[in-house]
Chain A
């Protein structure tokens, strides 16, 4: 079947989607967006976290057909989303741009920048899911307590870092965002 939905601000279509296929599979294999990771396929690890209509979900547990007409944001679209949030021009992220994404790209979202600067990335497999979850937290709560951060990231498993640097990164992103916005 054909499924069409918005991905990172641009309308996209996926063809030959199998009816039992997950949104995660459609994103990775049909649209060539490998940012969202496939690990547990049962909603336990959070590596596949995307925003669906603005809410974090495990894309492995959403049937691709359920995404019809919905608005999806993947890790590849976080920079664009952050730009939109701060009122800057945000044209969306094309599939081609998303595929060409590089870590030294100046177009990083604040939360991505903070993960790099805090050394919160080790093997990197859990990172995209954590970034999406952290970005959602900071949008809802610009001054998160440590308990807020732990709660927001409780559905994302990391098997390398022990989470301390990840918590540092989220605190750093929050502090920088507040600084930039002049402690409004």
Chain B
């Protein structure tokens, strides 16, 4: 095995172009588990720890450009206002030790259906900035997840950053597990209200082969809010609307039975989380706060 330590981004891209089978390692919280357990023996391991620009973030007017290696701890500490959903999701990742190392770039690279960042990215709206020596491109988050632990990256591409829409309304994230820390999601749900466009976006984790949005539920809810004039009146969401939203959210899952839970349980839990996250977010919107207390 070769251990490569590129000093900068250009050099990392050149390595990946020459040897597309190179495995990038940043926080190491996924890659090292596979190596420790003999599940993976890459010919080349490339440490991205020296590529400084991956650790930066920029807050723009519309979006946050989040470097691939910005840690979950940094997101929690610095980006709660701009990215409330992702900040809450980050807080549910494993433990302080893991949050000090892991970041969204690695979550996207691994593309596990259980990755905690994915539902929040889907709900906020995001684009993955992928780069190779051939150039840079933006992959919409909805097109990024292509299968179980598969993503839309080309073999010679690396993730440079994620462009995430800045919150224009309350966002929430909820996750089911057996305890509070160190838990892989049995299933997870994220919801973002977008008052500016009068839309609602969602993200579901661990309840389908890939992270998915509940598109029908989103459309139904946005329609109902519009119809009842609730965006302006900030009135309560009728329980029947919340219940139907929850049913539609559960219907967009394609879960399996596994050691962490049954498919039926996951559907049920997604419905419960959809209703609750809607309740929390809408209460916060009614209170006139642009972001929820986290």
Contacts and interface: CB of A to CB of B under 8 A. Distances in A.
B33 A41 contact: yes
A46 B49 contact: no
B3 A43 contact: no
Contact of B97 (A49, A66, A151): A49
Contacts of B28: 61-63, 66
A66 B35 CA distance: 14
Contacts, number: 90
Interface in A112-152: 133, 151-152
A133 B33 contact: no
Contacts of A43: 29, 32-33, 94-95, 97-98
B96 interface: yes
A92 interface: no
Interface string A31-55: 0000000000111101001000001
B41 interface: yes
A19 B3 contact: yes
A12 B49 CA distance: 20
Interface in B73-108: 94-98, 100-101
Q: Is the interface of B mostly helix, strand, loop or mixed?
A: loop
Interface string B170-185: 0000000000111000
Contacts of B100: 55-57
Interface residues on B, range: 20 to 34
Contact of B36 (A41, A133, A156): A41
Interface string B26-66: 01110111011100011001010100000000000000000
A24 to B, nearest CB: 9
A156 B95 CA distance: 8
Given A43-B33, A65-B5, A57 B97 contact: yes
A133 to B, nearest CB: 7
Given A19-B3, A43-B97, A61 B181 contact: no
A60 interface: yes
Contacts of A58: 29, 97-98, 101
A43 B98 CA distance: 7
Interface of B: 1-3, 5, 25, 27-29, 31-33, 35-37, 41-42, 45, 47, 49, 94-98, 100-101, 180-182
15 contacts: A55-B100, A56-B96, A58-B97, A61-B33, A61-B98, A63-B25, A63-B32, A63-B35, A65-B47, A66-B49, A68-B5, A133-B96, A154-B180, A155-B94, A155-B181
Interface of A: 1, 18-20, 22, 41-44, 46, 49, 55-58, 60-63, 65-66, 68, 133, 151-152, 154-157
